[in-house]
Copies of this chain bind each other. A is one copy, B any other.
């Protein structure tokens, strides 16, 4: 073990190449690894990300390209190191990343090797994190070749990066400097002068040497082979999932990405097709909002309840953290009893909790247990309230709430230019909107320009309400 030390002579803790695998073992569900790479694009303020499967010189690859700010040499080195995260809130948008580990754990879960190509305002920059390379050179520590090219010249690698360039050309799919530059050019195809392109190769295969993803069933999706899940007697044993029925978002990256952010503000494209997202309030009926004030946290947390318009089989609490989905369709309280609360969705953003290593759960702390207890109680009140109200308004109606036809109300559309959401007037069917929609198409002149700030979701009629009218009666 080649041991480094500080100037004073105190040893440094070092990183064995095997740790890249160790560190990736917290992702047992591959979409949670992909989500880490999507989060990174989100955190560099990308407006769009493109996820593709491609072949480079006979190698199957996954690519992730965004039009965010791009990375400088130092940022690239941080991304290829461990625990460096100095992401800060920009314009009120809080970064998701906090552990400085997402790229490493995510990319090394998906494949053996990854290369990151990036264009920032001032630099072109390429870095490589490759287990195959480290094995081949018999590295005792994790070395991460990085090159940068200052922008005006844009073809001369700095002298001090020559060794890194050599290693990248020898051990990545790109064997000449020209090929690398061409690949960097691809970023401009996004229409932006800055952005980042990640290529993962030597993708993980199953024990039977099949690819772990199914790319053929849906040409516009990346799927987990469904027989894999259906044939098992215990679907909830994907450890990162909590309930027993298989949902489309467990198997389809497209479905998962459509709910990955509470308020989608980055367009996600999978294999050439945009993911249709929706504001949560647009997908629910009988919406009630209430609030929760966690102990020791001086903040009021809104909780939204409603009945799922799309499918009564998908119900439970959607728990987000800084806009990012952590736990989906989580069964709490009365939902755990069969036939209870079917179709009910609760939505809460828990910035006061701590996500776990793989961002698929929260640390099992006091705060977490309190939050769950509280949400469970409120959920039960909500269910009673809705039943009571329906009984009162129509005593002879015996159809359960979850079986009634849901109104299509509160439609919102997202502008493909500015990514802001605009409320559409009643009666407009969002399914009939053109695939690309822009603010200038808005029937409501008040919000017909990208310059206009987004309307608050809370300005609608569903103000926090006292849930206990059924008790007063």
Q: Which residues of A contact B (CB under 8 A)?
A: 1, 3-4, 6, 8-23, 25-26, 28-29, 74, 77-78, 80-85, 99-101, 129, 141-146, 160-164, 167, 206-208, 228, 231-234, 237-240, 242, 295-296, 330-333, 336, 354-358, 361, 363-367, 369, 372-373, 376
Known contacts A22-B101, A81-B16: A372-B164 contact under CB 8 Å = no
Contact A26 B28 (CB under 8 A): no
- Closest B residue to A357 by beta carbon equals B26
Interchain CB contact under 8 A, A1 and B237: no
A232 touching B369, Cβ below 8 Å: yes
How long is the Cα–Cα vector from A231 to B162 in the complex, in angstroms? Answer: 61
Closest chain B CB from A439 CB (angstroms):
40
9 nearest A-B residue pairs (beta carbon): A19-B83, A16-B83, A26-B357, A22-B99, A13-B142, A9-B163, A8-B163, A18-B83, A207-B366
Give which listed residue, B13, B78, B367, contacts A80 with CB less than 8 A.
Answer: B13
Number of copies: 2
Partner of A22, one of B11, B333, B357: B357
A14-B15, A26-B357, A239-B364 known, 14 other contacts, Cβ within 8 Å: A1-B78, A13-B15, A13-B143, A22-B99, A22-B101, A23-B357, A25-B354, A25-B355, A25-B363, A29-B364, A82-B82, A233-B332, A234-B372, A239-B356
Other-chain residue from B8, B81, B146, B364 in contact with A238 (beta carbon distance below 8 A): B364
Chain B hits for A237, CB < 8 A: 242, 330, 364, 372
Contact partners of A141 in chain B: CB under 8 A: 6, 12-13
* In the bound complex, CA of A29 to CA of B12 (Å): 29
Rounded to whole Å, the gap between the CB of A256 and the closest CB of chain B is 16
Please state if A15 and B82 are interface contacts (CB–CB under 8 Å). yes
A351 nearest CB across to chain B (Å): 15
A81, B239: Cβ atoms closer than 8 Å: no
Closest CB of chain B to A438's CB: distance in Å? 40
Contact A13 B357 (CB under 8 A): no
Closest to A210 in B: B366
Residues of B within 8 A of A295 (CB): 207-208
Question: Does A25 contact B357, Cβ atoms closer than 8 Å?
Answer: yes
Chain B CB count within 10 A is highest, among A206, A207, A372, A373, for: A207
Nearest to A99 among chain B residues (CB) is: B22
Nearest B residue to A18, CB-CB: B83
Answer whether A373 and B164 are a contact pair too, CB < 8 Å, given A11-B143, A14-B82, A100-B19.
no
